[in-house]
Amino acid sequence: MATQLQADQHSVLVVEDEFIIALDLSETVRDLGLKVEGPYANRDHAIIAIDGKMPDLAILDVMAADGEVFPLADVLTEAGVPIIFHSGHISPRDIAERYPNAMAAQKPCPPDKLISMIEKAVERAH
């Protein structure tokens, strides 16, 4: 079981269109003591959700139910929100070229690696 982060209820936006993976990601985030925003299967629903308040971190699948997540990633990047791309659709190298400050986890990603990435991203959010 993951250890809880020193959480003052950091929020984590989760965008994932595969139901089981979305539940697993959300549970991992909650186990770390963080608040889940979502999960959203649609990029456009996530864009609407962040209109009022930006999350502290985002975990994004590259392919949402309504297409590529890059328009959302651009908004988050512009706002300084750390992003973890969690996808089987694009390589970490391709992510690094487009989003140099983002992290990338190739699906399937071992839980301990993803937890480590979340912890690093929360540190960056401070």
What pLDDT sits at residue 9?
78
Where the chain has pLDDT below 70, the residues are 1-8, 126
What pLDDT sits at residue 109?
86
Q: Which CATH architecture has domain 11-125?
A: 3-Layer(aba) Sandwich (3.40)
- Dist CA 74 CA 52 (whole Å): 17
Cβ contact 68:44 at 8 Å = no
Residue with tokens 């089981």: 20
What pLDDT sits at residue 70?
96
